[in-house]
A and B are shown apart, each in its own frame.
Chain A
Amino acid sequence: MPIRETNSQKIWQRRTGRESLSHWAMWLVGLMIFAYCWQQISQATTWFFVWDAPRIANDIWTRATPPKWDYIAQLGEPIWDTLNIATLGTIIALFLAVPVAFFAARNTTPSALFVRPIALLIIVSTRSINSLIWALLLIAIIGPGVFAGVIAIAIRSIGFCAKLLYEAIEEIDEIQVEAITATGASRWQVMAYGIVPQILPAFAGIAVFRWDINIRESTVLGLVGAGGIGLQLSASLNVLAWPQVSLILLVILAAVVISEWVSAKVRGAII
């Protein structure tokens, strides 16, 4: 600990002079980067609109309230589609994520040199691209609709599920696996009785967790044309039907809150 002596009085300091200098230099660089970013944003902004924002926000608010309650009859089918996109997408993703996770985990991969990097690449690339972008792409390939939404959600979820699952596989208790191996079990029996029971709770937790996230994501997939309640949202926004927009947002909010509650309950029951 650096101790400075001033007027024969010892003062404790956290850093030496040099350390604190480099510390402040780092802060300065950070501040300069932020200032540059802010300047760029400010340049690309029409400030006239920003000063007008309170009035516009107020205007939108008065138009959007009260929500058009009788429009809710037309939202039943879209919300059912949204639920289906999330559920089916999650199930497909889990089927695909399980082999990827086993290939990616250090202790179960058939080849750490060739198969593992490929599995890790699949995990990173599916995770880094948002489901809206996947949907955009799939709509170009298979046309708009619920099907594109399901596939988009499925692809997007592979990386997330596989990542959490392979981490769970790497953390398993090897002693149990050895015990099963010692009884003369085959490779598949070791898998079924040594590894799977250990990761099953993690798997169930991941499945429910991802389902919850997918409900959120599938509510907006319709913005790019991939089915669900987002379609109604984008249609209402296009014609500036603000009372419908506010009702749709309330429905989405309710769906998100309910799915979060269900997911918390189910996870509480299985873990």
Chain B
Amino acid sequence: MSVPNSELETLLGKPWKKPPFIQRPWLRWTLVLGFFAYLIAAYMTIEVNWARVYVGLERGKQFVLAFTSPDFTTRSSDIYSGMLESIIMTVAASVVGIIISIPIALGAARNVAPLPVYLICRGIIAISRALQEIIVAILLVAIFGFGPLAGFLTLSFATIGFLSKLLAEDIESMDKVQAEAIKASGARWTQWINYGVQPQVMPRLIGLSIYRIDINFRESAILGLVGAGGIGATLNTAFDRYEYDTAAAILIMIIVIVMALEYISGIVRARVQ
């Protein structure tokens, strides 16, 4: 009565093998070979001057050793003013960026905004996300001159793309029922946003904002390389003068501040959720 299952018969007695991810063998092998061919081609284009590397290893050793004896004192006034400027840029840019990104996020959420507004806001987000901080900083330094103002504007602009996009996605995935209940009570548009939408997205907004402050601080450390203020300028000078102990001190401070911010953001996010 049992029909011999030929497929099963052929498999009997053979060890099990994981089915491959890509079923067609030719496609699988072409992709694998193509990938390796690319890797070899990419590897070939990299010229390594091993003699130069060998000379540099001594400097590398010095740099690593500098971390055991970071020099906070020699250039303390430069480090202090640079750090303060970085922090100031971070705070000011985060505040302004967050304030601007909230209306843009509302505009970029399809369930809140009409289509024309939606398209404009999505356009702003796309531009802000596609341009890197450092490129924006170069252009803004050329326009507004050297100093922290260019850095502040750069970070504010970058904050908009990041925060508006994620916040808009959160608004789009919110619970419609609560918002409708507010609407049904005869609320105006602003009341609807304030009581129907805002309470739902607030924890996410706070979490994202703190995360963005963290990112802004890290970015503020490199804006100085193109003259947009902050600790980056001091760091660049320290590298140029081969003052690795000062550079190590600055890097340690950056790492400590980022760790502290991450710790704080963990606590805050746990509290608001």
Contact = CB atoms under 8 A, between A and B. Distances in A.
Given A124-B262, A137-B63, A141-B59, A50 B145 contact: yes
Contacts of A91: 39
B42 A60 contact: no
Interface residues of A, number: 56
Given A33-B91, A46-B147, A223-B225, A84 B46 contact: yes
14 contacts: A53-B143, A91-B39, A124-B262, A128-B259, A129-B218, A129-B255, A132-B134, A132-B222, A133-B232, A133-B251, A136-B225, A143-B53, A145-B49, A147-B48
B45 A41 contact: no
Question: Secondary structure of the A side of the interface?
Answer: helix
A91 B46 CA distance: 15
A83 B134 CA distance: 19
A44 B149 contact: yes
Interface stretch (A18-26, A103-111, A176-184, A249-257): A249-257
A262 to B, nearest CB: 13
A123 B167 CA distance: 27
A50 B49 contact: no
B98 to A, nearest CB: 11
Given A130-B221, A142-B53, A219 B132 contact: yes
Contacts of B46: 84, 88, 146-147, 150
Interface stretch (B116-124, B180-188, B205-213, B235-243): B235-243
B219 A130 contact: yes
A146 B47 contact: yes
A13 interface: no
Given A84-B42, A140-B242, A141-B56, A41 B152 contact: yes
A146 B45 CA distance: 9
Nearest to A240: B142
Contact of A37 (B53, B92, B222): B92
Nearest to A33: B91
Given A37-B88, A142-B52, A249-B135, A132 B225 contact: yes
A149 B97 CA distance: 31
Contacts of A132: 134, 222, 225
B173 to A, nearest CB: 18
Contact of B45 (A50, A84, A249): A84
B29 interface: no
A224 B134 CA distance: 12
Contacts, number: 147
A40 B219 contact: no
Contacts of A130: 218-219, 221-222
Question: Secondary structure of the B side of the interface?
Answer: helix
B91 A128 contact: no
A127 B211 CA distance: 14
A141 B52 CA distance: 9
Contacts of B60: 141-142
Contacts of B45: 80-81, 84, 146
B161 interface: no
Contacts of A49: 144-145
Interface of A: 30, 33-34, 36-38, 40-42, 44-46, 49-50, 53, 56-57, 60, 80-81, 83-84, 87-88, 91, 124-125, 127-130, 132-133, 136-137, 140-143, 145-147, 150, 216-217, 219-220, 223-224, 233, 237, 249, 252-253, 256-257
B142 A56 contact: yes
Nearest to B126: A257
Given A38-B92, A142-B56, A133 B222 contact: yes
Contact of A56 (B143, B235, B259): B143
Contacts of B226: 223
B241 to A, nearest CB: 10
A65 to B, nearest CB: 14
B145 A46 contact: yes
Interface string B233-260: 0011001001000010001001100110
Nearest to B138: A237
Interface in B111-162: 130-132, 134-135, 138-139, 142-145, 147-149, 152
A60 B138 CA distance: 12
B49 A143 contact: yes
B135 A137 contact: no
A87 B221 contact: no
B57 interface: yes
A140 B56 CA distance: 7
Contact of B91 (A37, A45, A143, A252): A37
Contacts of A83: 42
B171 interface: no
B254 A129 contact: yes
